Amino acid sequence: MIIGLILFTGCRQGTESSRAPSASTPSAVQEEAAILATLNAETAAAFSRDYDSWQAKWVHSPFVTKTYIDFPENTFTETRGWEEVDGFVREFFLEHPDPEPAPQPLDEIAVRLYGNGAWVSYEAMDSIRGLKRETRLMEKIDGQWKIAGMHTTIYGFDNK
């Protein structure tokens, strides 16, 4: 009886894992491309001070977080919750209204997909701040990838 149960379970698992995704299910490559587009659009909006476009790329929930560690400036900031993140960025845009040169769009990111969530990490070179390593927590809402968390470590120009 136990052997029969093991064989049945093994056969059943094999059948489930060999099913191909349906045509309506996006592939990992399609999901990564959509995430990449969201990240590049959010960065372009932030550097050009386009508030409406920037905020549209974020999850507007109390669990959202945004942290910066800036080694050259010896600073750390943490904002928690959409209201605080939104307020921080609005204030930054008011204090620094002139657009900044945007970094080159990302073309390579590491993505781990978890259903409607994703863990993303990458490096970027910012013409003003230098090397940055970023991690983004993404959430898919109504078919659109949005940012739910952001951690940026700025290393500057001397460290690589």
The 10s digit of each residue's pLDDT in 15-65 is: 333 334 445 667 999 999 999 999 999 999 999 999 999 999 999 999 999
Secondary structure class of 83 (helix, strand, coil): helix
Q: How far is CA 142 from CA 81, 116, 117, 118, 146, in A?
A: 21, 10, 12, 15, 10
Inform me whether the pLDDT recorded for 100 exceeds 50. yes
The 10s digit of each residue's pLDDT in 105-145 is: 999 999 999 999 999 999 998 888 899 999 999 999 999 99
**Domains in the chain: ranges and CATH:** 27-156 (3.10.450.50)
Arithmetic mean of pLDDT, 79-96: 97
